Chain A
C-alpha cells in the first residue's frame, strides 16, 4: 500500500515499475493467492495436528494403549494422577472461590499487585515454580526448616505433588471465577437483597449459579493444568513410582529408560484427557451463551 502511494512520485524506472505489480497481483483477492494462503495455513495445521494424531494412532494400532491395563507403572501413575489432581482441585476451589469473590467485588490498595502475583504462575516456567517451592519448603527452606523440626517433611512426597499442581493451576480457576462473579448483575443481587436474602444465601443462590459456567470452565482448565503438570513436580516432588510419579512423569521416565510402550500409553491417556477438556470447555461456553440469552 505504501508502495502504491510512493510509486507515482518516484522516478519511473522500469524495474520499479515492475516490482509492485506481482505484489499487487499476489494479494488474497485472486483465487491463486487464496489457495496459497490456505496452503501455508494448512502446513501449520498439519504440523500441529499430525504429532498428536500419530501418537494416539500408534498407541491404538500397536497396542501400547492396551499396555495400560497390564503395566503397573502406568496404572499406579493413573491412580496417583487422579487422586492428586482431585485434592489439588478441591484445595483450589475452597481457597480460590473466596479469593476470586474478593477480587471481583472489592477494591483495595495493592489489588493490582495482588492480581499480578496470582497470575504469575501462569507465565512462570514450571521448573522455576518447582525450585521456588523447594526454596520455601525444602529441608533448608524458609518454612521447610521449622517444619522439619516438627517432624513434617513435604518435599519429594505426594503432598509435594499436590502443592506443585495447586501452585501452577490455581490461577486459572481464580481468573475465570473472578471474571464470572464480576459479570453477575449487581441489580439482580440487590433485588434479592430487597427480598430479604442474606449475603450467604445471595452467594449460594444467585452469584454462584449465575457464574457457574465460568466456574466450571475454570475448574476444567485448572484440572487440565494439574494433570499435565511436569516441571514443578519433578523438581519439588521427584519421580518415585506410586508416590510422586504422575502420568506426565511416566511419559518422561519410561522414555528415559527405553520403555517406549509405557511412555506412549501414558501419553495417549493424557491426550484423550486433554481432548475431553477441550470438549467440556466448549460445552460450558455454549451453556454460558444460552444462560445469557435466557436472562435477556
Chain B
C-alpha cells in the first residue's frame, strides 16, 4: 500500500514537472499542439511550421511589441509570442546565464554585440529602430521645470536608471552635451547627478515613478513620453540630443532559429517599421 502510494506520488510529481517543462519550453510542445488544419504559406513565406517564440526586449519597446505580437500571431496562426521586457543589460545577463530567449531586441548596440562576441548569437546584429531623448515631468509639474537646465536646480528629485541600463548611457551623454551649451552652468553635470533620487531597473520604471509623482523629472526616450498621458515632455535642444540605436539578434541556443530570424527580419522590415513608427520610433540611423 505504502509503496503504491509513494509511487503514485512520484508519478504525479514527474507529470507535474514534465508539464512545467513543456510550458517552459513552448517550442517543443507547440508543433504537436498546433491545430492540424493550419494552412501554411501565407504572408511570411517561411516554409517552416510556425514555432512559438520568446522575445526578450528592451523595456521601451513594450507598447510597440504588444502590437507587433498581435500582428505576428494573426499572420502566423499557431505561433505564440512570449514577451519579456526589462533593461537590455539585465536581459543580456540572463541570456548569458541560459535564459530561453529566441530573439533579443536591445535599446542599444552594445548589448547585442556582447552576445555576438561571446558566441551566443546567430549571425550579426540587425539595427531596427532609432529613438531620441526628452525630459519628462509629472502633469502637475510640482518642481516647476521649464527647461532641461532646471534638472540641476536645487531640490529637484531626478529619477534615473541603473548604470548599465542603456537610457543611462544616453542620458549621461545628453547631460554632458547640455553642459557644453551656453546658458548651462559649468557644474550642470555634477548638479544633475547630485539630484538623482533613485536609480530604477529600466526606463519604464523611471517613467512610472514620474507618473506616480514620486519624482520631479527624468530623462527618457521620446517614445516613452508619447506613450504616457500622465507626463509632460520638456523638449531638449536638437543640437544636444543623443540618437539611440536599437539592435536585435537571434539567440544561438534558440531551437527555432529560422522562425526567430523570420521574426527579426519582419520586425526590422516594412511591417515592423510601420508599427514602430506608430509609437514614435525613428528608422534605424
Complex interface: chain A residues within 8 A of B2 (CB): 200, 203-204
B100 at the A/B interface (Cβ < 8 Å)? yes
Complex interface: chain B residues within 8 A of A238 (CB): 84, 86, 94, 99
Picked from A94, A155, A200, A260, the residue with its CB within 8 Å of the CB of B97 is: A155
Q: Which of B17, B82, B83, B97 has the most CB of A within 10 A?
A: B97
Report whether A159 and B97 are in contact in the complex, using a CB–CB cutoff of 8 Å: no
The A interface, classified by DSSP as helix, strand, loop or mixed, is helix
B32 at the A/B interface (Cβ < 8 Å)? no
- With A153-B100, A238-B94, A258-B211 given, is the CB distance from A94 to B10 under 8 Å? yes
Report whether A144 and B98 are in contact in the complex, using a CB–CB cutoff of 8 Å: yes
A189 at the A/B interface (Cβ < 8 Å)? no
Partner-binding segment picked from B186-194, B202-210, B275-283: B202-210
Please give the distance in Å from A151's CB to the nearest CB on chain B: 9
Partner-binding segment picked from B19-27, B121-129, B169-177, B266-274: B19-27
B96 at the A/B interface (Cβ < 8 Å)? yes
Picked from A83, A87, A156, A242, the residue with its CB within 8 Å of the CB of B98 is: A156
With A and B bound together, what is the CA distance between A203 and B253 in angstroms? 48
B54 at the A/B interface (Cβ < 8 Å)? yes
B212 at the A/B interface (Cβ < 8 Å)? yes
Complex interface: chain A residues within 8 A of B9 (CB): 90, 94
A35 at the A/B interface (Cβ < 8 Å)? no
Q: List 16 A-B contacts (CB under 8 A).
A: A87-B17, A90-B9, A139-B98, A140-B97, A144-B98, A155-B97, A156-B100, A157-B100, A158-B23, A158-B24, A159-B24, A240-B54, A256-B202, A257-B205, A257-B208, A258-B211
With A and B bound together, what is the CA distance between A240 and B85 in angstroms? 8
Q: Total contacts A to B, CB within 8 angstroms?
A: 93
Please give the distance in Å from B27's CB to the nearest CB on chain A: 12
With A and B bound together, what is the CA distance between A262 and B17 in angstroms? 29
For residue A201, which residue of chain B has the nearest CB? B2
Please give the distance in Å from A244's CB to the nearest CB on chain B: 8
Q: How large is the interface on A (under 10, 10 to 19, 20 to 34, 35 or more residues)?
A: 35 or more
B1-27, CB under 8 A of A: which get 1 and which 0?
A: 110001001101100110011011100
Interface residues of A in 158-206 (CB under 8 A from B): 158-159, 162, 200, 203-204
Q: Which of A87, A203, A204 has the most CB of B within 10 A?
A: A87
With A and B bound together, what is the CA distance between A162 and B17 in angstroms? 9
For residue B96, which residue of chain A has the nearest CB? A139
Q: How large is the interface on B (under 10, 10 to 19, 20 to 34, 35 or more residues)?
A: 35 or more
B265 at the A/B interface (Cβ < 8 Å)? no
Beyond A91-B13, A139-B98: 14 further Cβ-contacts under 8 Å? A87-B20, A90-B12, A94-B6, A134-B97, A140-B97, A153-B98, A157-B21, A157-B24, A158-B20, A238-B84, A241-B82, A242-B82, A256-B200, A256-B208
Chain A residues near B (Cβ < 8 Å): 83-84, 86-87, 90-91, 94, 134, 138-140, 144, 148, 153-159, 162, 200, 203-204, 238-243, 255-258, 260
With A and B bound together, what is the CA distance between A158 and B253 in angstroms? 18
Please give the distance in Å from A79's CB to the nearest CB on chain B: 11
B220-248, CB under 8 A of A: which get 1 and which 0?
A: 00000000101000000000000000000
With A and B bound together, what is the CA distance between A134 and B99 in angstroms? 11
Report whether B20 and A240 are in contact in the complex, using a CB–CB cutoff of 8 Å: no
Interface residues of B in 66-100 (CB under 8 A from A): 82-84, 86, 94, 96-100
With A and B bound together, what is the CA distance between A200 and B1 in angstroms? 9
With A and B bound together, what is the CA distance between A206 and B266 in angstroms? 66
Complex interface: chain A residues within 8 A of B253 (CB): 153
Report whether B201 and A256 are in contact in the complex, using a CB–CB cutoff of 8 Å: yes
Please give the distance in Å from B159's CB to the nearest CB on chain A: 12
Complex interface: chain B residues within 8 A of A240 (CB): 54, 82, 84
- With A158-B24, A159-B24, A242-B82 given, is the CB distance from A258 to B98 under 8 Å? no
Report whether B24 and A138 are in contact in the complex, using a CB–CB cutoff of 8 Å: no
- With A241-B83, A257-B205, A258-B211 given, is the CB distance from A156 to B94 under 8 Å? yes
Please give the distance in Å from A53's CB to the nearest CB on chain B: 21
For residue B5, which residue of chain A has the nearest CB? A204
Picked from B1, B25, B211, the residue with its CB within 8 Å of the CB of A157 is: B25
Complex interface: chain A residues within 8 A of B54 (CB): 240
Report whether B6 and A258 are in contact in the complex, using a CB–CB cutoff of 8 Å: no
Please give the distance in Å from A9's CB to the nearest CB on chain B: 57
